[in-house]
Amino acid sequence: IPDKRSIQPLYDLDKKLQAIRDPDNMTLKKLKEAVFWSIKQCDTWDQYS
């Protein structure tokens, strides 16, 4: 089960990353995708309650 404290920093990071528009930057695109999937994995508390 993921640590609840990790969820909000991931959302904060995702918000900052979404503000950056650079469609040609593949590293940034991969980072955004990694953060997205991290949030999907961590924010599953409704499934366990």
Domain range annotation of the chain: 4-41
Q: What is the pLDDT of residue 5?
A: 85
Instruction: Let me know if 22 is exposed, middle or buried by CB neighbors in 10 A (0-12, 13-18, 19+).
Output: exposed
Instruction: Let me know if 32 is exposed, middle or buried by CB neighbors in 10 A (0-12, 13-18, 19+).
Output: middle
Secondary structure (3-state) at 2: coil
Does position 2 have pLDDT exceeding 80, yes or no?
no
Q: What share of the chain is helix, strand, coil (3-state, %, to 5)?
A: 75, 0, 25
Full-model pTM: 0.76
Q: What is the pLDDT of residue 40?
A: 87
Q: Whose structure tokens read 């999907």?
A: 40
